[in-house]
Structure 1
Amino acid sequence: MNYRTLTVTETNHYIRGILSADPILNALKVQGEISGFKPHASGHAYFTLKDDKSRINCVMFASHYQTLTFKPKEGDLVVLFGKVGIYDKNGTYQLYVTRMTLSGMGALYEKFLKLKEDLGKEGLFDEAHKRPLPQNIKKVGVITSRTGAALQDVIAVCRRRNPLLELIVIPATVQGEKTETEVLGALDEARHLEGLDLIILTRGGGAYDELSVFNSEAIARKIYGMNLPVISAIGHETDFTIVDFVSDLRAPTPSAAAEIVAVDLGAVLGEQRAALKAMKRLVTDKVRRREEALAGYQPQTLGFPLEKRLADMHYSFAEWAQRTVAVMNKRIDAISYELNLTMERINGVNPLNILDKGYARLEKTGGGFIRSVKTVKAGDAITNELKDGKILSVVERIEVSHEKEEY
């Protein structure tokens, strides 16, 4: 058989022809639950229709969307009328909706509201139970996926604001059937970590059904019983889950959670320097005003005892002013010295500054820093980060050191 070679465009056009010739797919009526509904500035609406096992991408053009008598929202159970077609640009099929009717509340959203009501009545969301965040946060546990963008956002913000803050990553799946089990295990692990100040439970944005794994009653009760404060940062600012209501604090995004726990050391040091300078100005101004006031007296026109007394007071004040300014200058120098030592310590532990000394930081191309030869194998692609760029390479062989390992 001779096969004709088609271009990608020709292939998509051929599939389009098959779909358009099917009478069922051209007059389709389908029921499902709305997820990820996003009206576009153009007037079109994009969303997903799903049930408990599958989903289909949908688009409703502005001319049809404007005819709706209700505003679709997350979790609505609807009946859609339209046809199935292919979007040539990326070769995906989708449902082109011409009409939509409201059928009722979606099962997932209804379950969410019911659980929220029940746990609320039990008091799991009460403000009185919320644990306050520590004042001096030094060690933070981060429960999230090792490969997700949320972890990179948290690391980037903490590294920029406070390189001294220690982050302990407790990996867990944050999407899919294993999420509940792994998050519960990660919370148990965090509970027993020594010196941990608080926990960030986070993941990036996603469709409603993807985030719905955090509407877990088991996870909610586990967070409620934790011995550490928990900050939730699930999805985007408009996304809410049961975890958000039961946590001690909700952050709208992973980056926002990092900003909450990582005090901006640069800003703090700048404020302290400014306060010291202001204090020095106040003392100097007070001394100057007192000297000006004393200079206004004319002791030669007064009696001898008063003249001598004023002279003694002037000498004593001048001596006091000199000592005060000297003490202030000494204190300012000491604090400035301490601040400079702190900044040197910060720069010393900053991994990016260490690269200036000729070191490289190794990372698996798929994600994760390399701390031991045991974590790589021949053929692995790795990234070598230097001070002025990155080198991509492949491991040819591994030589293991025979020194005694420390535990």
Structure 2
Amino acid sequence: MIENAPSRIANRSKKLVRLQRRSGASTTPAVHETPTPLQEPSGCAESRLNPITGDWTIFAPHREARPDQFGTEQRVPTTTAIECPFCAGEEHTTPPPTWVAKINPDDSFQVLYPPSDDTASPSGPLNDWSVRVVPNKFPAVTESASSSAHQDPTKRSHPLFQSNKVIGGHEVIIESPNHVQSLSELDLTEIKLMLVAYQHRLRHWRMQPGIQYISLFKNVGGDAGASLQHSHSQLLATDQMPNSVENINERMRSHQARTGCCLQCDIIRAELKQKKRIVAQTNSLVAYCPYASRLPMLLRVTTKSHVDHFDQLSFDVLDDLARMIKRMAGWLETLVPNASYNMLLHSRPPGAHGNAEAFHWSLEFFPRISRVAGFEWSSQCMINTVLPELATEKYRKCAAAENPRLVL
């Protein structure tokens, strides 16, 4: 049996710990209180363990210098669009909305639909909106009246070839009536209302019977998976928990049961102590490049205090987060102009078992500047060409130029 690279590294680590114990040496890694100088990329790759997922990422900065005959996709900002179904005036081209809200002249907002009273009419015209949520016209999963019949015994051709119906919902959060493409083109009030829409729809789907997992994400640009330019996010709720998510949940539960602390909280405390990968922070939030980032230039932001469900964040924290998101989009576009990017929201899944203290929400933000190739697909181990410490340094320069008070 061939032993893969992460397994060999893990086995060597176990042997080293046993040898250290026999010799009486400490097995606790030394903590560097100040950042070490960044080194020039060398030919020696390094593998790092992600404590949340249990996955290994191989860092090979020297591969960044390899030739590339394929240019980066150019995303040209535009304010007009032909036949865009998400623009104001095209509401008839999408399914009826599930949630609509409008920003008032004083920057407050009101939810127009659904009304707070089920018997009431919408509190305003639904064609005058700021953020609008509609069912996806081409959904990956759909609601079904026969949701209890997950498996049809008559279709079981072989015990190895099983199939289940996937029940849930697939929605699109349209973030502006104007034809903008990136978060950097939205104003703060629009981003904040977008986050409020996230909370409302997460809360709605979390209350639906049978829903186990909710994915909320944003694709910007063709390389990131977007098929329409107009700035929008997507929510996909299913009655099935992905194995990878369940594995993360189990690792978080195990850490909390073993230490009495949330794993994400422990990581944040360690990152704030080392200060190597912290990009910016506010009183409530911290943005940093994770130690074992799976992708180049990945940013993660979360609250310093423990919150498991994103929809439990206060209005003040949402205001703080809206500002941080707009800044992160600006940093990314300064460093990688015209790059496609993804934004992923991780909130405690409805089907997660165990103590609420084990799960901590987070939001990840990364440009699509690398390709997943053969090794990654065959091993499920990513190769990252940008060390998070170097990514942090680049982001810090952007953050300091914008607002020095946010940086360490």
Given the two structures, how large is their TM-score scaled by the length of structure 1? Answer: 0.21
Structure having the larger proportion of residues in helix: 1
Larger RCO (CA within 8 A; separation ≥ 6) = 2
Q: More strand per residue: 1 or 2?
A: 1
- Bigger radius of gyration: 1
- Name the TM-score, length of structure 2 as normaliser: 0.21
